[in-house]
Structure 1
Amino acid sequence: HHYTKWWTFTVHRRPLQSPSITSQELFRLGIIKSDHNLSFLVFSREREREREKMTELAHSPIFTYASMLTLFTLCPPFVILLWYTLAHQDGSVTQTYGFLSQNGVQGLIDVWPRPTAIAWKIIFCYAAFEATLQLLLPGKRVEGPISPTGNRPVYKANGMAAYFVTLATYLALWWFGIFNPAIVYDHLGEIFSALVFGSLVFCILLYVKGHVAPSSSDSGSCGNLLIDFYWGMELYPRIGKNFDIKVFTNCRFGMMSWAVLAVTYCIKQFETNGKVSDSMLVNTILMLVYITKFFWWEAGYWNTMDIAHDRAGFYICWGCMVWVPCVYTSPGMYLVNHPVELGTQLAIYILVAGFLCIYINYDCDRQRQEFRRTNGKCSVWGKAPSKIVATYTTTSGETKTSLLLTSGWWGLARHFHYVPEILGSFFWSVPALFSNFLPYFYVIHLTIMLVDRAMRDDDRCRSKYGKYWKLYCEKVRYRIVPGIY
């Protein structure tokens, strides 16, 4: 799933001869330096294998550092320029480019909003509210996957309750005149600016915590400050015993802000124009349905690469707290000042198509989750599932078994669920029609990101399952799009 994968890069490889290496595996290149002996022993077992891969990579360290530094320096101003273009330049990239060409760096400084007291208050109140809900709302106890060092994280599944409480509270504050959500839109640039800097400080604190007070043995340093800061030090950082930081940044701050801002844009258009256009309604409804699906499935998300594989660093946490609120909500941000009247018939067509894509995406996840839950003893499309029994050896030397589903949605392509995910994002962007390119930036970004993710996941599974993954790929030939790719 792409939810928090805001930006990725891959390592350049020599054609036809060098094996692949996943982005997170770069973390483990070199000697692991950790105060936790168990973590050291587990990761050092993989060190020699990674070094073998490393010898076949062409100039990867230079490419890696250049990529990380590029993202560090370009992503923060991109967030501000995206907001500025959508809110003040009619969504025209050429107008913004012309302005920057004339004014240079000083132009960027001039349009960059200064974080204000009201922006900080909005962020603090929102973050404190979501943290309180995460801690206090009741929820079922859910166990995550066993980590490489043998830890099994425990969560409280109260995301759906937090989602409904958040939206109900937000709408009630508006309805009873206590707080006007239009204020959030009016100060959006200041909020994004505060998030850019505040989230950077947050990531620095996470880096320090990983060195000084890691929450578990799933932590450690590769000995390189830049890589440690970018990828993170800890897999499961927590404050105390119960407050999981990645659940907060990824789910309760990032994904929840997507829903809150979608509603905010809708209310702002209503207060400005006295009505909500059908294009804004279609956009808001589809995004809220998608986010509702996410929180309904949140416990399943805790088994994905975002939580169980990628560490808590700039890549994950800054992305969730800044990139998601800005980039993921950008189609609605554009529609605030550019309402489009689709007409009832076209609006219904887009809604139905969007609903169908979101449902198929959900059913893909449900099908695989049910297959895993029942250990393959279930029905897939009305018959017994086709599967491959794959054995693999863990980093601690233990032999385990996994079942690879090769029928149903998962028989069409190894990552077919990305197809309805990309199409769903297209259908909540297309209400803007085609007078501007920028409302479709998220769709393009998501497509590139998921293709890269599919490649990384294939590399990881090939390394994990070996001959069984080769057999699986022979049976399920296509990576994402059946018959094409």
Structure 2
Amino acid sequence: MTNAIAGFMTPLGIYLIITLLHLIVPARKVTGYVTDEKTGEKMKYYLNGRRVLIISILLWAGAGLLKSELFSWLYTVRFYSLAGALTIGIIFSLYIVLSAPFSGKSFFADFYFGRLKNPQFFKGRIDAKMWLYMVGAIMLELNALSSAAYHYMKYGSQSSPGIFISAALISWFVFEYLTFEEVHLYTYDFFAERTGFKLGWGCLAFYPFFYPIALWATAALPAPGTNTLLSILYILIFFGGWTLARGANMQKFYFKTRPGKSFLGIKPETLSDGEKTLLVNGYWGLSRHINYLGEILMAAGIILSVGYPANPLPWLYPLYYVALLFPRQMADDRRCSQKYGPLWDEYESRVKYRIIPFLY
């Protein structure tokens, strides 16, 4: 019973610590892409996610050195902790929706999608979307580290290298995500989505507890045997996906912030109607949503690395991306068609593939 209560409350404690660190750790103040609906000015953000991540990992390591079982605590109480995170996600979603003016849509639509696009608190010191992404990413990292620690504490020298490879790939995923925080201010989530259950519950409960499902499903299992060539292949799949996702986002970021400048030697080519402009070469010439393919490949590399390809549970992670991103591509294409009109038709004739080059 003690573990159940402590495990249930653990996410709340971690989220509060992360929030406090976000408020007190020095941050860069940057101007984003989204326009404030009230002032008409570009929104400002305080970004220090990478610093908060590093401090959070150091706090986790320090707690483990003081009491070794704390290294694997999040894995040991994972189901109680998940229940706590699910509760926090629902409470946050209710608060962020009910505190905003009625939109005219049904309550269920408002609750799921949200009413506010870009809410900020503490005089702009905390942006809801960036806070959610940071909290979710750091909790994901701690869950991955705790799972790997549990596996090592159980099996010692007989541990599976794949568990540590998978945890390392997740760590890279989180570290580079928080390193390039500013780039994500130019992504779909910020200019097209509102803040409700989908985003709030997703970042507080789903994202940090579902993404490490490969580790949760295999950390208690013995090593399946090591195939070095396959491990290298899985790592290459991950970094191939990372190259597509990060490269595409960075090219778009450079194009939005430094028009005309080359990115990785790629000079931007565009289509324009005199008012609106679309990027049509480099990563964005391969497919209209090449970054989505990158996300799916990264997930595949992470789950394959644990070494249990026949276990169905890890496959839920990349399948989730397929279920999420393919419909999002369709929605985004509809939105772009409405926004750009004939220019988008011209773009589609130039860049024929939606996500997977030469296939889809």
Same-fold call, TM cutoff 0.5: yes
SS at match of 1:349: helix
Residue 134 of structure 1 corresponds to 22
Residue 246 of structure 1 deviates from its aligned partner by 2.2
Q: Under a length normalisation based on structure 1, what TM-score does the superposition of the two structures give?
A: 0.69
Per-residue deviation, 1:179:
6.4
Paired AA for residue 295 in structure 1: L
Contact 2:47 2:182 in 1 (8 A): yes
The amino acid that maps onto 2:30 is V
**1:445-464 superposed matches below 5 A:** 445-464=320-339
Q: Distance in 2 between matches of 1:364 and 1:238?
A: 28
| Structure 2 partner of 1:168 | 58
**How far is the alpha carbon of 1:131 from its aligned partner?**
0.3
Report what 2:106 is aligned to. 224
TM-aligned CA deviation for residue 383 of structure 1: 5.2
Provide TM-score, normalisation by structure 2.
0.91
Of 349, 355, 359, the match for 2:239: 355
Q: 1:383 to 1:129 in 2, by over 3 A?
A: closer
CA drift at 1:420: 2.2
* Secondary structure of the structure 2 residue equivalent to 1:235: coil
Q: Which letter maps to 1:418?
A: Y
Quick one: which of 250, 273, 279 aligns to 1:405?
Answer: 279
- What is the match of residue 240 of structure 1? 122
RMSD: 2.2
Q: What is the aligned partner in structure 2 of residue 35 from structure 1?
A: none
1:146 maps to 2:25: no
Secondary structure at the aligned position of 2:277 is classed as strand
2:308 matched residue in structure 1: 433
Aligned residue identity for 1:184: L
Distance 1:402 1:425 in 2: 34
| 1:304 shift after superposition | 1.8
Q: Is 2:63 aligned against 1:209?
A: no
Instruction: Output one character per residue of 1:235-270: Cα deviation in whole Å (capped at 9) or x when no partner.
Output: 122332122222222x22212111111101000111
| Within-5 A mapping of 1:48-127 | 116-127=4-15
Q: 1:286 aligns with which of 141, 150, 169?
A: 169
Specify the structure having the higher radius of gyration (Cα): 1
C-alpha distance in 2, partners of 1:129/1:140? 20
Q: 1:471 to 1:127 in 2, by over 3 A?
A: same
Q: Determine which structure has the larger helix proportion and give its number.
A: 2
CA distance in 1, matches of 2:194, 2:254: 27
Q: Does 1:422 align with 2:282?
A: no
Structure 2: stretches of 5+ with no match in the other structure:
none
Deviation per residue, 1:140-195 (Å, 9 max, x gap): 21112214552532111211111111112212221343761322212111111122
Q: Sequence identity of aligned pairs in percent?
A: 22
The residue type paired with residue 285 of structure 1 is: A
Q: Unaligned regions of 5+ residues in structure 1, if any?
A: 1-112, 212-219, 392-400
Report the Cα distance in structure 1 between the residues aligned to 2:266 and 2:74, rounded to whole angstroms: 51
Q: What amino acid does structure 1 have at the position aligned with 2:204?
A: M
Is structure 2 residue 185 aligned with structure 1 residue 185?
no
Larger mean CA deviation between 184-193 and 259-268 belongs to 184-193
What corresponds to 1:479 in structure 2? 354
Instruction: Note the C-alpha offset of 1:380.
Output: 4.8
